Structure 1
Amino acid sequence: MRTLYVVAHPEATHHVEGVVGGWYDSRLTPVGVRAAVSIAQALRAQIPDGAEVELFSSDLQRTRQTAETVGALFDVKLTLDRRLREKSYGEAGGRPQEWLDRRFIPPPAAGERMDHDEGVKGAETKAQWVQRIYAAMDEILQRPCEHQIIVTHGGSLTFVVASWIKMPIESADYASFRGPSGSITTLREDDFFHTRQVVSLGDTRHLDAAQR
């Protein structure tokens, strides 16, 4: 049986500064640092002692910091993968959120959504974003490990889950499985039917300790 634990990094500086995240390389806030400890402890409570564990993370600071906290508790090597990053918002990254809001062109309700131009120079299309997340997931799932931890971003979580349930890329343009910052999503595949379950989505119960 394989279980994936997908972590959406906790509070980072771009959240409290009101600027666009994306590939902007923000760090965890003090609240986020405490939340990362709670995340690591929650994962430690779920994964049996002595079990083989693999750890993967986006290479941006806020995810790497979170993953390093988890890795220290499990004493496992961290594999960084830039394909697990959040969507790139191009020249909007690090600018005030209202700057992006004034320029952003939302996708149409119907028609071409995957290659839609959002009106922001250098921003990824949804197709580019989805394709890299799916490629990273394909490699992770080829590895025969029963417990795998993936640290990514709230937006990218959607496509980690979509990949897990084998949603065709061309159908992912309407998908939304986003979880809150600092949440843990648990995914499980059984050894008999090889069905893939979303056990929990965006669980934040462990964050209560970080907020005390």
Structure 2
Amino acid sequence: MHNDTPTRIVLIRHGETAWNAERRLQGHLDIDLNEEGQRQARALAASLAQEHFDVLVSSDLARASQTAKALGDVSGLPLYIDGRLRERCYGGFEGLLYADIAARYPEEFAAWQAREVDAPLPPGQNRGETFREFYERVTSAVLGWAEDNPGKSLAIVAHGGVLECIYRAALGLPLETPRDFKVLNASINRFMVQDGKLELVSWGEVAHLRPAVLDDV
């Protein structure tokens, strides 16, 4: 049956981790939210408490699933876990500060910064993905969830790289172009999917993260 109602997707980046704060690359390494990230997750959940969602899904990495659980607690929805929504695997870059990556892997770092989308990454604890491999993995995952839930409202909690890919897919941006848009921790980013195509509705909502000016005494 053809469904004319678009599928609504609220795509959320996980809250802050200690590694985000110090610019250390996480990739597939599993880092918990820090105290600020937990605060962000609670603020995010409170701001979405009045919105209706049919499905709540998250990457299988703790920083995303912990953020999603906060939303699950207020919405009462079960949390689905999907490993395809993981951050890009950065191979030998993982666990290093950006400055250390540049020093240790100058050629691969230069190719990464130059957005060579098929450039391989040095091996590490995990096998690195090219940007193109990563893009194909996450766009098919998000579109798959939309296709399986036509006309419904989905909350998907994932990672900065995942948000970047979905933004590019919705706007038709080439993968080679620089990332000239912000991807913020615990931000709310809204999309619609109609006939298998992503459309951007709003990007980078973070007003909910500002600490309340007047706390109840």
TM-score by length of 1: 0.82
Q: Which residue of 2 aligns with 1:185?
A: 189
Determine the structure 2 residue equivalent to 1:159. 165
Structure 2 counterpart of 1:181, which letter?
A: N
Unaligned runs of 5+ in 2: 1-5
User: Given the alignment, which residue of 146, 152, 164 partners 2:152?
Assistant: 146
- Aligned match of 1:200 in 180, 199, 202? 202
CA contact (8 A) 1:5 1:185 kept: yes
Aligned partners of 1:56 and 1:133: how far apart in 2? 13
1:10: how far off? 1.4
Specify which of 100, 107, 111 is matched with residue 106 of structure 1: 111
Q: How does 1:78-93 map to 2 (within 5 A)?
A: 78-93=79-94
Residues 87, 34 of structure 1: alpha-carbon distance in 2 compared, 3 angstrom cutoff: same
Asked if structure 1 preserves the Cα contact closer than 8 Å seen for 2:90 and 2:121, the reply is no
Confirm or deny that 1:10 pairs with 2:15.
yes
Alignment CA distance shift 1:109-1:12 (3 Å): closer
Counterpart-to-counterpart distance in 1, 2:197 and 2:145: 17
| Cα distance change, pair 132–178 in 1 and its aligned pair in 2 (3 A) | farther
Is the CA contact 2:53–2:155 (under 8 Å) kept in the aligned structure 1?
no
Bigger CA drift: 173-182 or 127-136? 173-182
Residues of 1 paired with 2:130 and 2:196: CA distance? 32
Separation in structure 2 between the aligned mates of residue 161 and residue 80 of structure 1, nearest angstrom: 22
Question: What fraction of aligned residue pairs are identical, expressed as a percent?
Answer: 26
Of 22, 30, 39, 1:25 maps to: 30
Cα separation, 2, equivalents of 1:210 and 1:82: 35
Structure 1 unaligned blocks of 5 or more: none
Question: 1:115 aligned to 2:121?
Answer: no
